[in-house]
Amino acid sequence: MSERETWPKPLDAIMLNVGDGHWLYVEECGTRTGVPAIFLHGGPGSGAQIAHRSLFDPNRYHAILFDQRGSGRSHPYLERRANTTRHLVADIEAIRRHYGIDKWIVVGGSWGSTLALAYAEQHPSRVAGLVLRAIFLGTTAEVQWAFIDGPKRFRPDLYQNFLAMLPEAERAEPLGAYLHRLTSTDPRLYEPAARVWHAYERTLSELDPGQVTLADATGPGRMPPTPLMEAHYIANEFFLAPRALIDNADRLKGIPGVIVQGRYDLLCPPAAAYAVARAWGSAELKFVEKAGHAMTEPGIMAALRDAIGRIADKVTVARR
């Protein structure tokens, strides 16, 4: 039997109407008498995955997973209207109210960590604990580092390959050029750009991705959807004021938490995790050595399971 076949299956799955024409795919996993937890996927736009269920022991947790607006199995697919950070935070609250949960553990990585922080800072009384991975604060500087400055310094061959996929006239401002293409309504522009962007980002997320040629990504097959939603959020500065998540981190004080951070994460470097941990004050910062950004990097999943368990222990003690 494969590992995939042993992953927990959902108790139930629904389509939840959250207004603005959006319906969210939401699933319950584990046991309804367990410690409540919600998982926030990354991207924006990647959707919840079967592997994410494995973070939660089905005998211990009442885990909620969902696809954010426009993502995965939610409807309308790839809809960017009424799709902002404010809307997603409101959706998390709508899910909590739907299931009658008072407080829960909030788990999220990369963009999921951004959304988790935004939610917890707005609704701290509803958060029993936070487990975050690969902190991203939604700033222009972080995007510039992740897609331009970082690759220039650490993966210059890959970066030149990224440039080469653009017409020569557009290579002076590659980030703007890709965003223009990814936010276009013309599939002749956004489809090839999405394929290249996806392969580029995936390669940057791994410490040892092997040999990658971005030209290989432009072949046939399903277009990866995440770059289109990412571009929408990047173009709008993630619908966050500059430094908003750091400036409001005092609202997290007293909430127990663990930040799991790959030591060599090129997309979301450790500086952001360190800054959040200092501003938060009640969080543990756990570095995973010899790991990059992706959740599948060695040691990351185990560290997340351990962190969720330790936060759940504190929640259980608090209930007695």
- 55 versus 214: which is more confidently predicted? 55
> How many helices (DSSP H) and strands (DSSP E) are in the chain?
12, 8
Supply the pLDDT for residue 211: 82
Number of Cβ atoms within 10 Å of the Cβ of 286: 19
Grouping H, G, I as helix, E, B as strand and the rest as coil, residue 157 is helix
What angle, 0 to 180 degrees and rounded to 10, lies between the N-to-C axes of helices 156-164 and 187-204?
180
Amino acid at 17: N
Q: What is the pLDDT of residue 1?
A: 42
DSSP string, 38-67: EEE--TTTT---GGGGGGS-TTTEEEEEEP
Alpha helices (H) along the chain: 3-6, 85-99, 111-122, 140-144, 150-154, 156-164, 174-182, 187-204, 226-235, 244-247, 270-280, 300-319
pLDDT at position 222 over 90: no
Average of per-residue pLDDT across 64-70: 98
pLDDT category, 218, cuts 50, 70, 90? confident
| Catalytic residue (choose from 110, 198, 205, 232) | 110
pLDDT in tens, 5-29: 566 789 999 999 999 999 999 999 9
Q: Which residue has the higher pLDDT, 73 or 1?
A: 73
Reported as a single tens digit per residue, the pLDDT across 23-60 is 999 999 999 999 999 999 999 999 999 999 999 999 99
Q: Which two tokens stand for residue 139?
A: 């700033």
CB-CB neighbours of 195 under 10 Å: 22
Please state, in angstroms and as integers, the Cα–Cα distance from residue 317 to each residue in 6, 107, 127, following that order. 30, 19, 15
In the residue annotation, 123 being an active-site residue is answered as: no
- Report pLDDT for 291: 98
Amino acid at 206: E
| Per-residue pLDDT at 191 | 95
Task: Supply the pLDDT for residue 219.
Answer: 72
Out of 22, 67, 205, 265, which one is annotated catalytic? Answer: 265
Query: Quick check: is 247 catalytic?
Result: no
Mean pLDDT of 273-296: 97
Which among 41, 52, 198, 293 is annotated as catalytic? 293
The reply to whether 232 belongs to the active site is: no
Q: Percentage of the chain surpassing pLDDT 70?
A: 96
In this model, does residue 201 exceed pLDDT 60? yes
Per-residue pLDDT at 172:
97
Q: For the residues 252-269, what does the mean pLDDT come to?
A: 97
Residues whose CB falls within 8 Å of the CB of residue 311, separated by 6 or more in sequence, listed in order: 105, 128, 129, 130, 131, 256, 257, 258
By the 8 A CB rule, do 33 and 61 touch? Answer: no
pLDDT above 80 (res 155): yes
Closest CA to 55 of 76, 82, 35: 35
Q: Which H or E element spans position 258? A: strand 257-262
pLDDT of residue 229: 98
Give the pLDDT mean for 204-216. Answer: 88
pLDDT bracket for residue 179 (50, 70, 90): very high
In whole angstroms, give the CA distance from residue 64 to residue 231: 27
